[in-house]
Amino acid sequence: MAFAHGKLLLFGEHAVVYGEPALAAALTVGVAATVTGRTAARITVPAWSIDVAGDADHRVATALRALRDALPFDASGYDLHLEASLPAGAGVGSSAAMAVASARALAAAAGHLLTPDQLFEAAMAAERVFHGNPSGLDHAVAIHGGLMHFVRGNPPRMRPVALGASFRLLVAQVEAGADTGRMVAAVAALREAHPVARALCTDIGALVAEAEAALTAGDHAAVGRLMNLNHGLLSALGVSTASLDAAVHAARTAGALGAKLTGAGGGGCMVALVTDETAPAVASALAPLARATFEAHLQPVTDS
């Protein structure tokens, strides 16, 4: 069995597609993949109600064909069973976790040792099917875990971020997620039409640098303010929705230090920064607005 993490985009979504930095954390939930045989490259994902043949006209099958073709060994025919512990299409990196876990399981079945670069490139091929123009951030986090600073490129630049304190986050899936490729294309069209939209992406890049400093300093209040600013800039780029805005404002009113949408937007999830004191009130405020909620804890890495 092979596992890959889901991700929580803390700062910098969308702008990261245009070379700005982003900060994302691995979730403990993700996708576990097992090769169950070698017949018709069948793919089953019970949690997402998927059971398709490898040659089916289905996005998951198409993505996994692209993945198999990009792997540096013969990955044909292997049947994959995927156990997903995170929602699909909600902005928490489900497709990247699926691609990375599948590549790892296929490599193990074929007796092949994949380098991180080969894994990254193969997952990129699958992510292109879902996202059109992915930055690579989602599968970088799925591969490496931890809290990561990521800049798109060939090769991408990524490094771990050291935290100065623990951060407690509440994630709420407010509505079904929109297609990431469609959201990325909408931002591209806005940037094409209006230079100010390009400037907003540059501003998000500057905000990410401030956010990294605040995370490293353990400055909860500054991280919260920057989450609010990031949400405002994403709203200006047109990727928030009335439901996401309502949940973000409900969380802030209930005492969250900050709140923003996370991921591609157009639906999906929002994230709120809470303390042990405010967590119960924020959770109660979000409960009626959310399909599901879960917690994510960012912890400093200790030597012991």
Residue in 138, 179, 219, 245 annotated catalytic: 138
Contact 26/6 with Cβ under 8 angstroms?
yes
Backbone angles phi, psi at 5, to 5 degrees: -80, 150
Is 20 among the residues that bind ligand MEV (CB under 6 A)? no
Structure-block tokens of residue 108: 């193990």
Q: Minimal distance in Å, beta carbon 135 to ligand MEV?
A: 3
Residues 6+ apart with CB under 8 A from 244: 174, 175, 261, 265, 267, 268, 270
Residue in 94, 102, 173, 180 binding ligand MEV, rule: CB under 6 A? 180
Structure-block tokens of residue 116: 């991180």
Cα–Cα distance for residue pair 154/189, rounded to 1 Å: 24
Contact 17/187 with Cβ under 8 angstroms?
yes
Cα–Cα distance for residue pair 33/46, rounded to 1 Å: 12
Q: Minimal distance in Å, beta carbon 185 to ligand MEV?
A: 11
Is 241 among the residues that bind ligand MEV (CB under 6 A)? no
Q: Minimal distance in Å, beta carbon 255 to ligand MEV?
A: 27
CA angle 256, 259, 261 (to 5 degrees): 155
Q: Which residue is nearest to ligand MEV (CB)?
A: 135
Q: Minimal distance in Å, beta carbon 35 to ligand MEV?
A: 27
Residue in 258, 263, 267, 268 binding ligand MEV, rule: CB under 6 A? 263
Stretch binding ligand MEV (CB under 6 A), from 7-15, 106-114, 162-170, 273-281: 7-15
Q: Minimal distance in Å, beta carbon 88 to ligand MEV?
A: 13
Is 137 among the residues that bind ligand MEV (CB under 6 A)? yes
Q: Which of residues 69-128 bind ligand MEV (CB under 6 A)?
A: 91
Is 9 among the residues that bind ligand MEV (CB under 6 A)? yes
11 vs 78, which CB is nearer to ligand MEV? 11
Task: Note the Cα 144 to chain centre separation in Å.
Answer: 13
Residue in 106, 171, 184, 244 binding ligand MEV, rule: CB under 6 A? 184
Cα–Cα distance for residue pair 217/46, rounded to 1 Å: 42
Residue in 50, 70, 119, 264 binding ligand MEV, rule: CB under 6 A? 264
Q: Minimal distance in Å, beta carbon 262 to ligand MEV?
A: 8
Structure-block tokens of residue 146: 């931890």
Structure-block tokens of residue 43: 């793919």
Cα–Cα distance for residue pair 203/233, rounded to 1 Å: 8
The three-class DSSP label of residue 147 is: strand
Sign of the torsion formed by the C-alpha atoms of 54, 48, 128 and 183: positive
Is 54 among the residues that bind ligand MEV (CB under 6 A)? no
Residue in 5, 131, 139, 231 binding ligand MEV, rule: CB under 6 A? 131
In the residue annotation, 138 being an active-site residue is answered as: yes
Is 266 among the residues that bind ligand MEV (CB under 6 A)? no
Residue in 6, 134, 177, 268 binding ligand MEV, rule: CB under 6 A? 134
Residue in 6, 10, 13, 114 binding ligand MEV, rule: CB under 6 A? 13
Cα–Cα distance for residue pair 88/267, rounded to 1 Å: 12
User: How many residues sit close enough to ligand MEV to count as binding (CB under 6 A)?
Assistant: 15
Sign of the torsion formed by the C-alpha atoms of 245, 251, 254 and 258: negative
Structure-block tokens of residue 196: 């100010």
Residues that bind ligand MEV (CB under 6 A): 9, 13-14, 16-17, 91, 131, 134-135, 137-138, 180, 184, 263-264
Catalytic annotation, residues = 138
